[in-house]
Amino acid sequence: MKLENKVAIVTGGGRGMGRAMALRFAHEGARVVIAEVDRESGEKTFADIGRCGLLMHSDLARVAEIDELVARTVAELGQVDILVNNAGVTKSLGFFDVSESDWDWMYSVNARGLFFCMQRAAREMARRKSGKIINIASIAGKGFRGTSNIAYAGTKGAVIAMTRVGASQLARFNINVNAICPGVTRTHMFETLMREMTEKRGVSEADAIKRLDSTIPLGRSNTPDDIANMAAFLASAEADNITGQSFNVDGGLVWD
């Protein structure tokens, strides 16, 4: 098992990509801390990993709750070996539709919350001179035209930049920092966005998905397990000499 005796925090671990990563990490031998704002989905995933770890009701827009998340992990499980910054929010908005409250909402979780999770977990990792941080960015952060909105794309561009700078500044503590940039991925968020888009454009959801998949070179959108596969690799010893990178998992939609 690639992650035996490791402790992994997965934010937004209740559903979608977070759930897939929590399940995969548990399968690989890790004790998993699921940080989830939605109690019901968090409870279900925690039960499905055999309650091996911790379940924390955490709002990543609140720095005090991030501090509590990491402090309790260390107090009860002894260490933090892996952090997956997966929690994120968005909605379908046109350029002129983005409001100040939309902007603040997305940045508070996707960029600000992600940074303070990195910082707090890295403090613990630095003491042990070991750690893996995996930030879930998006191909939106590389300018993908099909993004849900421009503010969301900005948050994910910030994640990519923070991944690179964080990798540089944390390397002396033997902490690896990498990002995964998913393309179109079949998650709860994806389903919500598809409903919003189909209502606006007057097409069926099945039609919209078919059109979307036809634009992907490999012909299919991601499943959450596609992201979990990459996360398990980056969290493992197999990726010990990889840091500061942003890996696209998108079926060939973008190349950089």
Active site residues: 152
Chain length of the chain = 256
| Strand, helix or coil for residue 20 | helix
For tokens 């909105």, what's the residue? Answer: 149
DSSP state of 19: H
- Report the C-alpha gap between 133 and 32 in whole angstroms: 14
E strand intervals along the chain: 7-11, 31-36, 53-57, 82-85, 131-136, 175-182, 246-249
Sign of the torsion angle spanned by Cα atoms 215, 216, 221, 224: negative
DSSP sequence for 55-97: EEE--TT-HHHHHHHHHHHHHHHS---EEEE---------GGG
